[in-house]
Structure 1
Amino acid sequence: MSLPLRTAKQPLLDPYDLGDGLTLRNRVVMAPMTRARAENPELAPTELHSEYYRQRAGAGLIVSEGTWISAGAIGAVHVPGMYSEEQARAWREVTSAVHAEGGAIFAQLAHTGAASHPDFHQGRLPVAPSAVNPGGTVFTPNGLTHVVTPRALSVSQIAEVVEQYRSAAVNAKLAGFDGVELHAQRGYLIAQFLNPALNLRTDAYGGTAEGRARFLFEVIDAVVGVWGPHRVGVKFAPHQVLGESAEASPEVLAVHEYVAARLDDHPLAYLHLMMTRQPNVRVTAEQRLESLGLFRPLYRGTLIANAGLDQESGNAVIGEGLADLVSFAALFISNPDLPRRFAHRLPLADSDRETFYQGGPRGYTDYPPAADAVAVPSPTSSTGTTESSTGTTEPHGASL
């Protein structure tokens, strides 16, 4: 049976010019999600990764799972890296598979900083802006373990980490990616520099919003130096809470406002706004409007809205000019052909959370595309779209 034509315009399905000659086929972005399938000593992607990303190449843009910029950046098991020639060669198989389907893919570059453990580093302490234990646990090769107090980076060591980002950006280019995204959220190293509770430095990398943001902007300059304009994105989570807090710190939010306004002066591909407040807690419509209402005026470049969005609300925020693109996480796990399902109002499949971070092909590449079907009835809305029955908040830890 042939698929029905779309009966109403959906902003999510419009093409988008990202700049530097890169035109996206639609405005549906696959958010970065850790899936922990690199079960090999080299931490290199495999044929399984190539198939997983190929299946989802109908997205306007795929952002890969977080990739480690160095061995010292590691803070989770079975997550691939971008710091060796072998890893870059393996990633080229992934990007070739996506490009063969007409897709575009950015690599996310990550460093966990204090959100790691000595188990990953031959007993050495993980690094951070300051020697402050961020709290929480991390899953290491020896099991679930509490994080420890890290060691503070010296100024010269900060420069070394910036160089690691630059080197990883070179590897991503060699691997055939279309650009890179900097992981600046979820309590990892860049976010730790931005957080006054974790960054107690009194030198040029602390003390003020400008000082705390210095590391991020040095990384941006290094990576843009490799990729050029409009090929580097930044993802941050200004509202995300730390530890047992119920609300984000006003000081953290103020630093992110400063960053967003300064990013306007940089030739980025986009700012990826993660609106999550607490892990695994769905963002409300009110919180979403609060986030977009605050950051849309501050950053006038391409803005990607992430977390708490479905098909209906995704169309709405683009249609209202609050965002240019919308990223989806969990929906892409179980719906590899998500843009096609949006286009034809096809039912959405549920995902199996038990396979998010383990299982080999199970729960990874075995979700089928929707069979040809007649459009299903849907609630009416101003955009004429269907509201997803499945939340789009990223799985805990899925946004490396």
Structure 2
Amino acid sequence: MSNDNPQDVLFETFKLGNLALPNRVLMSPLTRSRSSQPGDVPNDMNAEYYQQRASAGLIISEATQVSPQGKGYAFTPGIHSKEQIAGWKKVTDAVHHSGGRIHLQLWHVGRISHTDLQPDGRKPVAPSAIAPEGAKTYVSADSGMVDIAEPRALETDEIAGIVEQFRTGAENAKAAGFDGVEVHAANGYLLDQFLKSGSNHRTDEYGGSAENRAKLTLMVTQAAIDVWGKENVGIRVSPTGSFNAMYDEDPLETYTVLAKHLNDLGVAYIEVVEDSFQGNHANGRPESVIDAIQANFKGRYIANGAYTAEEARRRISAGRCDLVTFGRPFIANPDLPERFRQDAPLNEWDDSTFYGGDAKGYTDYPALAEQKATA
């Protein structure tokens, strides 16, 4: 059946902060590890990739390190040098030329790194000196996956410097022509490490209670608001995600506290990783945590995690979310909204090409119109 019908909730226009979105089919942040080396610089191929997907209601860029210290994987892009800003400007210009909208995801990996990726071979930093059991990264094109060693705990007087790294990243994102920023506080990276009790064993003002563990995330979010205004800032969280050896003793309490404070800050949206192929402590979507976030946060709720078009329609219609971000389907289907609109078959993704490489599995997935033209 065709979904080309004005009542389809996926294709209702939607106001998100300062942006008017043409649909509710958003592109999730997706690490693809194809920035130019040396320098972690976005390139022409990256610009083509994002431009192909400009029909998304909003593109949220791949995670982008705010400093050399924030880097955790080979070939991921940064937003802390003039060359990186210029590279991202190619991307934003291409997306805007095709009528799209794009936010930059601001990223610091914390402990999910390696001395080979850190300035002067230093240890990665974290809230506590706890090695993430089983977590791995890659440090070069031919390294394969390598273990992550024990990080060092950040000193209390270093926290302000972390906030400034994010602030500078937000300023550079503005210079690069983005429409807003998303603070990455999910998936086992630095802010998530501070939020969750399993990785944060601090005894200073940034550890212990949920209020204390949320402080750094809220300080970083405020810094982004200072640069962009609250209507152009969102945040990504993964309350029950287990990727990168993450665990929280009471996600209901932790994310109730965080949601209340984010509501006070007035950010435009929370993107919630409800489920993930990379691991989830909940059995399916954590409905009680979703309820708690929605009860305490009055901005837009963006759902993420293994969604189909039909489930997105159902949950939007039931008030369980406002918008949905799609990850792997957008990798393989540059025109995903149009395929949803027509109820057309989806290309299958090739997960062997997700991270690193060239145009194969990156910019060579065909759009529906191309397939019909050659059929």
**TM-score, with length taken from structure 2:** 0.93
Offset of 1:292 from its aligned partner?
A: 3.2
Judge conservation of contact 1:260–1:299 (CA < 8 Å) in 2: yes
Q: What is the alpha-carbon distance in structure 2 between the residues aligned to residue 238 and residue 349 of structure 1? A: 30
Offset of 1:288 from its aligned partner?
A: 5.6
Offset of 1:298 from its aligned partner?
A: 2.5
Which whole-Å deviations, capped at 9, do the CAs of 1:25-53 have from their partners, x for residues lacking one? 11111000000111310111100011000
The residue identity in structure 2 corresponding to 1:266 is L
Which whole-Å deviations, capped at 9, do the CAs of 1:329-374 have from their partners, x for residues lacking one? 0000111001111111111110111111133111100111103899
Offset of 1:262 from its aligned partner?
A: 1.7
Once the two structures are superposed, the pairs formed by residues 207-246 of structure 1 within 5 Å of their partners are 207-241=208-242
What stretches of structure 1 of length at least 5 have no aligned partner? 375-400
The residue identity in structure 2 corresponding to 1:371 is A
User: Cα distance 1:164–1:10, how it changes in 2: closer, same or farther (>3 A)?
Assistant: same
Q: 1:75 aligns with which of 69, 72, 77?
A: 72
Match of 2:258 in 1: 259
The residue identity in structure 1 corresponding to 2:93 is S
3-state SS of 2:265 partner: coil
Once the two structures are superposed, the pairs formed by residues 1-400 of structure 1 within 5 Å of their partners are 6-7=4-5, 9-20=7-18, 22-121=19-118, 122-135=120-133, 136-141=135-140, 142-241=143-242, 248-276=247-275, 279=278, 287=285, 289-371=287-369
Judge conservation of contact 1:352–1:363 (CA < 8 Å) in 2: yes
Query: Greater shift after overlay, 364-373 or 103-112?
Result: 364-373
CA RMSD between the two structures:
2.2
The residue identity in structure 2 corresponding to 1:199 is N
Which whole-Å deviations, capped at 9, do the CAs of 1:40-82 have from their partners, x for residues lacking one? 1011110001100000000010000000000010000100000
Q: What is the alpha-carbon distance in structure 1 between the residues aligned to residue 281 and residue 211 of structure 2? A: 31
The residue identity in structure 1 corresponding to 2:221 is I
User: Cα distance 1:193–1:338, how it changes in 2: closer, same or farther (>3 A)?
Assistant: same
The residue identity in structure 1 corresponding to 2:191 is I
The residue identity in structure 1 corresponding to 2:48 is E
Offset of 1:14 from its aligned partner?
A: 0.7
3-state SS of 1:140 partner: coil
3-state SS of 2:62 partner: strand
User: Cα distance 1:282–1:355, how it changes in 2: closer, same or farther (>3 A)?
Assistant: farther
The residue identity in structure 2 corresponding to 1:77 is A
Q: What is the alpha-carbon distance in structure 1 between the residues aligned to residue 73 and residue 125 of structure 2? A: 15
Offset of 1:209 from its aligned partner?
A: 0.9
User: Cα distance 1:105–1:270, how it changes in 2: closer, same or farther (>3 A)?
Assistant: same
Offset of 1:170 from its aligned partner?
A: 0.4
3-state SS of 2:250 partner: helix
User: Cα distance 1:282–1:161, how it changes in 2: closer, same or farther (>3 A)?
Assistant: closer
Which structure is higher in RCO with an 8 Å CA cutoff and minimum separation 6? 1
Judge conservation of contact 1:292–1:323 (CA < 8 Å) in 2: no
3-state SS of 1:276 partner: coil
**TM-score, with length taken from structure 1:** 0.87
Offset of 1:238 from its aligned partner?
A: 0.3
Judge conservation of contact 2:198–2:249 (CA < 8 Å) in 1: no
Q: What is the alpha-carbon distance in structure 1 between the residues aligned to residue 3 and residue 308 of structure 2? A: 21
Q: What is the alpha-carbon distance in structure 1 between the residues aligned to residue 48 and residue 161 of structure 2? A: 35
Residue identity (%): 41
The structure with the greater share of residues assigned to helix is 2
Query: Greater shift after overlay, 195-204 or 308-317?
Result: 195-204
Q: What is the alpha-carbon distance in structure 2 between the residues aligned to residue 203 and residue 369 of structure 1? A: 52
